[in-house]
Structures are given as structure tokens and as C-alpha cells.
Structure 1
Amino acid sequence: MFSTAIKSMLKEADYQGGLIPVSSLNDNSGKLDLLSVIVKIRPRMGWFWQKPKYRSRGFTLSDVLPEDSPLFSSFKKTDFVDYSRIFGDKTEMKADGKVDGLFADIELNVSMNCSYKQDSSFGKLKKEEIELTTLLNHLKEKRLDMTHPLIKQSCVKPRAVLCVLTERIVTSHPCRVTQKILNSGKIWAMEKFFIDLSTFGKASLKQSGSKETDSMVSFQIPENTVIAFSLIELQVKLNGMFDLCLFSNNGGFEQVKPHDGMEEDAFRGSISDDNSLLDLNKQMEKLSDQFQLLSVLPSETRSSLLQLLRNMMKNREEVSAMESVLDQMCDGETPNLGNLRESERRTVQAIVDIVLNSVGEDKETRSSLLSAIHLIVSAMDEMTDEGLSVLESCCRPPVLKALQMLVQCVAAGSGETISLRDTHLTVLTEEEEEYRRAESLFDNSNVILKREEDTLRTEMKDQPGQLPLVMSIAVMGLVSLVRGGWIPRHH
């Protein structure tokens, strides 16, 4: 809830995306001071849809410089924005019907109301920033202490980039974030039944019931809490000399050529991620082996994983926490679970137990299986909040298989059509609510579904970005856990 509120604020106050939202209140325990050294973890090779991770261990730039003299502490403080927002959503659903039987007719009437409200009031936010001219002059001819544990451990990680925190947004007084969810439903049924005892008799029985659940979560954010920040990357040479990357994010650690000695301009991590010409079909083919790995697991194992992932999707922050843990585990690290909530720890442990029970001591297979699960969770983490919520409601085998057919249609190219007479799409043609959900899922992934008589046509929106890809990965990953396995691609 904390990170969701901050991301909503930044969408409006920082539309160019220069600020990085803080994901946890725990990050504020002295880890995000100005001139703090932050390790940026770039996306995995080929996983360009991932957002970078940012890890801080509480060190400042002066801690990793050999000189004893402390860095200057001057910075400027200005007003950023006075922000408050109330967001609400209300859904109503009604259904009625009649069931005819040999001895009885049943009339049903069902109604459900769901409402969601989030009140975020950050008040007056302040911006604190280092004066770059002063910083550049101060750092002239300085070298990093390459023996410092943070530097030593970072430079051997292929995806690590050293950064310095130069700007942050902080609260100027205590503020509150409140979330309220109300679910209510009613069911009414009347049964008319017939009895034949020499004469014909008719009677009726009426039944009704209702249920209402109400939950509210509210917490207060203290004064001087950091909610967003920005960084400058460093290009670090083997001798400890470094440059600030002022105009582009191409920082990293200088590498050594295997045969020709040092490569002066080769900085690990300076690869450009230009995905303007995304070939969805090609990308999905590259990932097919990971989906196949999941699809051949025992039925009970797949069912347990599917249920765990579905429950996780109900909480956006739990998805992000799981993605971070799996990312560290896939790098061979032991993540610190102490910062997770109890429900998050249980989910992590349950997934780890499933993997261990499936592969035993086979480290290579265990690593591959964790990577396949991480792939799905990583894609979920990049989906919109609305898209993730709709996907969770679609986690029934018939619906997921129908979504797979649509994803394959999208991958084939914009303008492709698919026949609604296909048996795997029956759930969408016979259940209007399921079709609306599928339409909403694709709409939130920048794909348009157009229904034309007995066919469906898919069409990419302008500048779709990576949303079609991450939605497709999430859907195909979930389908691989469904009983019955894959639908042939050219069914």
C-alpha cells in the first residue's frame, strides 16, 4: 500500500520518470541519505522488461574514499509539491436465472457490490539535492577504495553499477495513507417443487442470505521520510578513478580483456536497451523452454504453484517482494527475509519447499526451476495494477487456455484473427463476464480485442511498450501450470 501510494503520486508529479519510488519504509533507516552509495542491479540478460533494483547498505561516498577528510554536506532544499489524492472504485454485478428440473424449478437472484477507496495525503513534500558543480569540484582526482567490502563485492557482480544518491523527496510533517475495502453480496432463491400423491400438489420455498466484509488499513508516515530519490551512476576504473555519468546511464566497472590487457572503454553494464522494435513472437520463443520446464512438473506440484501465484497476485507489494527474493536466489545469494511480512515469508518458503521437493539435491535443475518461476513473477511485477488484478480473476484453467490462444494471436502480429468457434474459446463466448475480463486484461496491456461476428481480432495500441510482452509471459507461465498442459500453437 505504501509503494502503491507513492507510485500514484509520482505518475502525476514526475511524469517524465526521473525519480525512483521508495518501495519500503525500512529503506529509510539511514540508507537513503544524500551522497549514499547505492548499488543498482541491472535487468538480467534478455529480461529487458525488468526494472533495475536498488540496494543500499548504509554507506556514504566518504566511506568508500581512502581519504580521511569527510565530504562537504551542503545541499539545497526546495518545495516539491503539496499532494493529496482520494481514489475510489466501485463495481456492481447482478445475475438472475432459472433452473428447470423434473421435480422442482429454482429461481436465483445474485447481487454483489465491491468498493475500494484509498486516501493518500502526503501534504507538502520537500526536495533536497546536492549541488552538482560543488560535488564535481570536490571529487576531482579522488579514487575509490577498491578494497572496501562494498566495492569488492559489487565489482564482481555482472549486473552491478555503483551510484550516488544526489536528490531525494521527503515528507515535511507526519502524513497518513488509508485504504478501505468493502465487499457485500446477496443471494435470493425460490424453489418450486411438485409432489404427486394421487393428486397433484405444488409448494414453494424461499431462501435468502447476505454477506458483508469490511476492511480498513491505515498507517502514518513520519516526518522526514524519504519517498523517492534520484541517482548518478559511476564509471569506475580498475585503479579506483571514477567519473560521474551526468548525461546518460552508462556506468559500470571497467573490465580486463582476457588476452589483450585492459579494455579502456569497456564498462560492464553499459549496454543499451533499445526495445522500440519489439518482436513479441521472437521473444516468446526464446522463453518457451522455461514454460516447458514448468509444464512437465507433477500435476500436484503445478497445482500448488498456481494457487500460490494466484494468492500472491491479490497483493501488489507481495509480488514485488517475491520478485526481489527470487532475483537474489537466482544469483546464488541468501536473501534477508527479516524485512518481509509474515504472509510474504510464508509464500517464499512454500515456493522454495515445492522446488526442493520436486528436484531434491539436483542444484542445476533447482536453479532452472527457480529461474522459470522468477520469470513469471518478474513479468507480473511489471504489469499495471489493474491488469494484475484482472489476471488474478482469470486463474481458472478454461479461462487461462482461452487467454493463451489470444496471446498466440497477438504474437502472430497485429491484425491477426481467431475464430470464436474454437472449443478453447467457448468459455469466452458462453460467459460474457469472462469475455469482459479478457478484454480488460488486454486493454490494460495496450492490446485491443475486437469482436467481429464469429471472429476476434487483436490489434496493438500506439506505442504499446513492454506491456504486451509482460502480460504474455505471465499468461503463458500460468498456463504451463494448468492441468492438461499446452494447447498446440497452430490449433
Structure 2
Amino acid sequence: MFAQAAKAFVKDTDPEGSLIPSSRLHENLNIYSLIYKKPRYWFQTKEKYESLHFTFSNVLNTEGHENTLSGMVITAADEVDWHMTSNNKKNCSVDGKVETALADGEVRLGGNSSTIQEFKIMTKKEAVDLDKFKNFCQNKELDMEHDVIKQASKKQPLKTRPVLGVLTERILTSKPCQFNSSSLMSGSVTGRLQACLKGTFNPSVSANRDNEKWLTIQENTVIAYRLNELKIKPSGKFVVSFTKNQKGGFVNEYEEDGVDCDVQSPPNLNQELQRLSTHFDLLSELKDPLLKILQETIMNNREKVSILENELDLLSENPDLVVPKDWVAVKDIDKLLVGYKNTTRSTIFRAIHLIVSAIDEMKDDCISTLSCSSCEELKTLQFLVHCMAESVESVCLSDPVLAVLTENMFRRAVLLFDQCDVTLRKDGNKLMIEIKNQSGNLPLVLSIAVKGLASLV
């Protein structure tokens, strides 16, 4: 709940995207704290940030210089009252026919869920005077023998190394506050059975479940922070990034200290999906059990998706790691891999991580739609994703693969694609597919999530 609130706060109050939401309640996030920005494992995912137990002062080379930041001015901004309420509704229904030796008829399974989340936070801001900080950093060098620097710089190649940054601004709670999440789930079974011996039986069963969670956080808890990245040379010389276009990282000694625009062109969907196809193929042995775990246990809770993504991130890079007992999200998946060699386990975890990382990038409504999609609906969505990747602008609605595209499913598909910057619309007997301008990575995120889940059918 805390990570959700932090993300919502940053999205609502920082449209430029310069703030980083806190991911855990008790992180070491002080002014001048050193932060690792870990490189993205998958192209479509966001960077991750890891707070360290060192400050900027700890890694400066003090020889011949005064190493103190005590004279830097830290300002506290006025308090801001931020309030948000979200209501996420999800509907699922499955129709089917029953044919037995004694009876035949129709059965309809239905379910509804509604989650209301309320966040109310009083915040204050602490920030470094960047002009004074910039002057302080002139002619300074980093201690390249410090463990933090050595650990980050030893990885090869350069692009896989984490970026080192300094925390120069943070948003904190000014008063204790509470987050509330209330969920109401209901289900029903209705139908009509025509018995061959005695008349007609009309069953109707319903169930409801209410769940409410509260989270209290204390005063001075960091909700979000700003990072100034460091561009570091082998000699220890460095440049602090003060604009959005300046990026940090480890560079060679002769690279210019100028603006480094990190603008990525939109990915080629077809090429990216072909490159990732081996990961989808690898999951064929786990098929139905894994799909059930993802749809019924993980994807019905946004927090579980994020937790599973973090756990799989660690497992995919550490084949010898034994799953800790307190890792709840991954334990059911780990049971499916009993008997696999560690290297095979690691490869499978990496493939599952690909799917889950894409799902974690999606909006709640998209996750709800995919968690409710039947096997036939996933195949239809996969067909639409394939057409999109192949730049097929329209498909005929009479195509057999679109037979399950009922009005209800079409509405859900339109919403799913629209929130991933893709337009679906009917034009006569054709279905038009169009990627919106400046869509970024969202169409790729959609493609990986859909194709990954469909590979488990």
C-alpha cells in the first residue's frame, strides 16, 4: 500500500517525472545519501533504485580539500495537503454449456470486485541549495578505492554498471497519516439444467467477501526524492547532473562533460518479440499451473505483482539463491520448479520475470482485464498483438480467431489497448489497429504481457 501511495503521489504532483517514489517504508533516504540506479534488465521496464548506507561525503577524496557539506543550506518548503481516492472495479463472467447423461443446460459464472483506496498525506520538502552544491563539487574527486565505487565500477560492460547519484531533495510526511484500502468481492453461479427424468432445475448461488486494510505511517517518512546523478571518470573526476538531459554513469577518461541526451527511439515491436521468443517458449512445460497462479493468486492484487517482480528480479540473477521463507509471492511458483537444476531454474525465473515485469508496468485496469481473460480470449488478444507487431492496420471481423470477441470483450480489449497507447476501433466489417504517436514502450509492454500469458495457455 505504501509503494502504491508513493507512486500515486509522484504521478499526481510531479508531471515532469523528476521525482522518484519511495518503494519501502524504512529506507535510508537522507539528504546527501548515495543511491544506486540499477540498469534495466528488460528494455521495457523502469530503472530500480537502491539506497546505500553511505553519504556523498564518504566517497569524496579528502586529500588537499575540506570535506564537509555542513555549510550547505537545506530549505524546508511549506506543508502541502495531498488527498486521493481511487475506485477500481472489475467484472468477470464465463458462459458455458453442460451436457451429461442425466441433464443438459447452460451455466453462467460471474464475479465482481471493487477496491476503494484512499490516501491522505500532509507533506513537507527538504532540498539542497543546488548553486552552492555545484560550487562545492568543483575540483573535487571521488575516492575510487572506496567499496561503493569499486563495487559499482567493476561490472562489465559499462552499460550494465549501476549509476551513482546523490539525494538532493526529499518529500516527507509532516504528520502521521493513514492509508485505507477496502475491497468487496462477490461471485455468483446461475443457470438452467434440463433433467431427463424430472423437470427443470434452476440453480442460483452467490457469495460475498469484504476486506479492509489500514496502514499507518509516522511523521518524517520519505514519500519521494530527487536524485542528481554522477558522471564518473577512472581518475575520480566527476560531473554532477543538474538537468534532466544530463545522465550519470561510468565513462572513459576522454569523454566530454557535456549534455548527454538519453532519448530512446520507440522499439521495433516485431524485432523485440522475436528476440524474446525463446523466453516464451521456455514456459511451455509450466503452462496451466503457472497461468492459474498468475491470474488467480498474483494479478488480483497490484501489490503482489510488484512484490513478485522484485523477488523474480533477484532470483533470475542468483541461480543458487534459496527462496527465503518470507517470500510469499514466489513460493507457489518455486514449487513448480522442484527437481530442476539451478541453472535451469534461473533461466525459467528470468522468463517469468519478463512477463511479470511487463504486467507491473501496466495500469490497474489493464491488469484486471488480463487476470479475467479466459484462454480463448488470451489467444484472441495475442492475435491482435501479433497484427500490431506486424503493422497490420486492419483485420476482418469474420476471422474465426475473433469469434470470441463479444461486445463485452471488445469493450475490455479497447480499454486495455487504449491504456497502452494503441487504438482499436470497428470500421464496418473490419477491426482497425493503430499505435498512437509518441507511445514509447507501452505497446511493447502490452505485447509482452499478452504474449507471455498466452504462451501459458
- Work out the CA distance in 1 between the residues paired with 2:36 and 2:317: 15
Question: Match for residue 132 of structure 2?
Answer: 134
Equivalent residue of 1:213, what SS?
A: strand
Question: Match for residue 293 of structure 1?
Answer: 282
Pairwise CA distance, 1:469: 0.8
- Work out the CA distance in 2 between the residues paired with 1:190 and 1:12: 49
Which amino acid letter does the alignment assign opposite residue 272 of structure 1?
D
Give the alignment of 1:5-44 within 5 angstroms: 5-27=5-27, 31-44=28-41
Equivalent residue of 2:234, what SS?
A: coil
Identity %: 39
What CA deviation, in whole Å up to 9, does each residue of 1:278-308 have, x standing for no partner? Answer: 422222222223223333xx3xx23333233
- Distance change >3 Å, CA 293–CA 273, structure 1 → 2: farther
| Aligned partner (choices 217, 235, 239) of residue 235 of structure 2 | 239
| Aligned partner (choices 261, 265, 279) of residue 255 of structure 2 | 265
What CA deviation, in whole Å up to 9, does each residue of 1:378-421 have, x standing for no partner? Answer: 21121122212211111x322211111110111122x6222333
Given that residues 80 and 169 in structure 1 are in contact (C-alpha distance below 8 angstroms), is that contact kept between their aligned partners in structure 2? no
Question: Match for residue 451 of structure 1?
Answer: 426
Given that residues 166 and 229 in structure 2 are in contact (C-alpha distance below 8 angstroms), is that contact kept between their aligned partners in structure 1? yes
- Distance change >3 Å, CA 333–CA 180, structure 1 → 2: same
Question: Match for residue 470 of structure 1?
Answer: 445
Question: Match for residue 357 of structure 1?
Answer: 339
Pairwise CA distance, 1:238: 1.4
Pairwise CA distance, 1:13: 1.2
* Alignment partner of 1:228 is 2:224: yes
* Alignment partner of 1:401 is 2:379: yes
Range with greater deviation from structure 2 (236-245 or 62-71) = 62-71
* Alignment partner of 1:280 is 2:276: no
- Distance change >3 Å, CA 228–CA 334, structure 1 → 2: farther
- Work out the CA distance in 2 between the residues paired with 1:392 and 1:16: 31
Equivalent residue of 2:152, what SS?
A: helix
Give the alignment of 1:309-388 within 5 angstroms: 309-310=294-295, 311-332=297-318, 342=326, 345-352=327-334, 354-355=336-337, 357-358=339-340, 360-361=341-342, 363=343, 365-388=344-367
- Work out the CA distance in 1 between the residues paired with 2:282 and 2:367: 24
- Distance change >3 Å, CA 423–CA 139, structure 1 → 2: same
- Work out the CA distance in 1 between the residues paired with 2:277 and 2:97: 45
Equivalent residue of 1:59, what SS?
A: strand
What CA deviation, in whole Å up to 9, does each residue of 1:115-143 have, x standing for no partner? Answer: 32111111x31111001122223233322
Which amino acid letter does the alignment assign opposite residue 45 of structure 2?
Q
Question: Match for residue 486 of structure 1?
Answer: none
What CA deviation, in whole Å up to 9, does each residue of 1:222-246 have, x standing for no partner? Answer: 1001000010010112122221112
- Work out the CA distance in 2 between the residues paired with 1:179 and 1:55: 27
- Distance change >3 Å, CA 354–CA 192, structure 1 → 2: closer
Pairwise CA distance, 1:112: 5.2
- Work out the CA distance in 1 between the residues paired with 2:394 and 2:239: 52
Equivalent residue of 1:85, what SS?
A: strand
What CA deviation, in whole Å up to 9, does each residue of 1:259-290 have, x standing for no partner? Answer: xxxx41189xx783422x44222222222232
- Distance change >3 Å, CA 138–CA 426, structure 1 → 2: same
- Work out the CA distance in 2 between the residues paired with 1:50 and 1:221: 28
- Distance change >3 Å, CA 127–CA 334, structure 1 → 2: farther
| Aligned partner (choices 45, 51, 56) of residue 50 of structure 1 | 45
Equivalent residue of 1:71, what SS?
A: coil
- Work out the CA distance in 2 between the residues paired with 1:373 and 1:319: 12
Equivalent residue of 1:79, what SS?
A: coil
- Distance change >3 Å, CA 91–CA 368, structure 1 → 2: closer
- Work out the CA distance in 1 between the residues paired with 2:188 and 2:151: 59
* Alignment partner of 1:165 is 2:160: no
Structure number with larger C-alpha Rg = 1
Pairwise CA distance, 1:442: 1.4
Equivalent residue of 2:26, what SS?
A: helix
TM-score, length basis structure 1: 0.80
Question: Match for residue 64 of structure 1?
Answer: 59
- Work out the CA distance in 1 between the residues paired with 2:382 and 2:307: 27
| Aligned partner (choices 417, 420, 424) of residue 401 of structure 2 | 424
What CA deviation, in whole Å up to 9, does each residue of 1:192-220 have, x standing for no partner? Answer: 7686xxxxxx8666654331110000111
Question: Match for residue 485 of structure 1?
Answer: none
Query: Which structure 1 residue ranges, 5 or more long, are not aligned?
Result: 196-201, 256-262, 483-491
- Work out the CA distance in 1 between the residues paired with 2:93 and 2:308: 36
Q: Work out which structure has the larger RCO, using CA pairs closer than 8 Å and 6 or more positions apart in sequence.
A: 2
What CA deviation, in whole Å up to 9, does each residue of 1:46-66 have, x standing for no partner? Answer: x33221111112211122224
Given that residues 114 and 185 in structure 2 are in contact (C-alpha distance below 8 angstroms), is that contact kept between their aligned partners in structure 1? yes
Pairwise CA distance, 1:427: 2.2
Which amino acid letter does the alignment assign opposite residue 390 of structure 1?
T
Question: Match for residue 217 of structure 1?
Answer: 213
Question: Match for residue 77 of structure 2?
Answer: 78
Question: Match for residue 253 of structure 1?
Answer: 250
TM-score, length basis structure 2: 0.86
What CA deviation, in whole Å up to 9, does each residue of 1:311-365 have, x standing for no partner? Answer: 2222222222332333334444887977xx94xx13334444545634x25x3x5
Range with greater deviation from structure 2 (157-166 or 171-180) = 157-166
- Work out the CA distance in 1 between the residues paired with 2:455 and 2:314: 24
Which amino acid letter does the alignment assign opposite residue 273 of structure 2?
M
Given that residues 404 and 479 in structure 1 are in contact (C-alpha distance below 8 angstroms), is that contact kept between their aligned partners in structure 2? yes
Given that residues 355 and 370 in structure 1 are in contact (C-alpha distance below 8 angstroms), is that contact kept between their aligned partners in structure 2? no
Pairwise CA distance, 1:436: 3.0
Given that residues 165 and 229 in structure 2 are in contact (C-alpha distance below 8 angstroms), is that contact kept between their aligned partners in structure 1? yes
Question: Match for residue 198 of structure 1?
Answer: none
Query: Which structure 2 residue ranges, 5 or more long, are not aligned?
Result: none
Given that residues 319 and 345 in structure 2 are in contact (C-alpha distance below 8 angstroms), is that contact kept between their aligned partners in structure 1? no
Given that residues 164 and 248 in structure 2 are in contact (C-alpha distance below 8 angstroms), is that contact kept between their aligned partners in structure 1? yes
- Work out the CA distance in 2 between the residues paired with 1:97 and 1:366: 37
- Work out the CA distance in 2 between the residues paired with 1:314 and 1:96: 21
Question: Match for residue 305 of structure 1?
Answer: 290
Pairwise CA distance, 1:477: 1.4
- Work out the CA distance in 2 between the residues paired with 1:352 and 1:96: 33
Given that residues 184 and 208 in structure 2 are in contact (C-alpha distance below 8 angstroms), is that contact kept between their aligned partners in structure 1? yes
- Work out the CA distance in 1 between the residues paired with 2:277 and 2:96: 43
Given that residues 90 and 112 in structure 2 are in contact (C-alpha distance below 8 angstroms), is that contact kept between their aligned partners in structure 1? yes
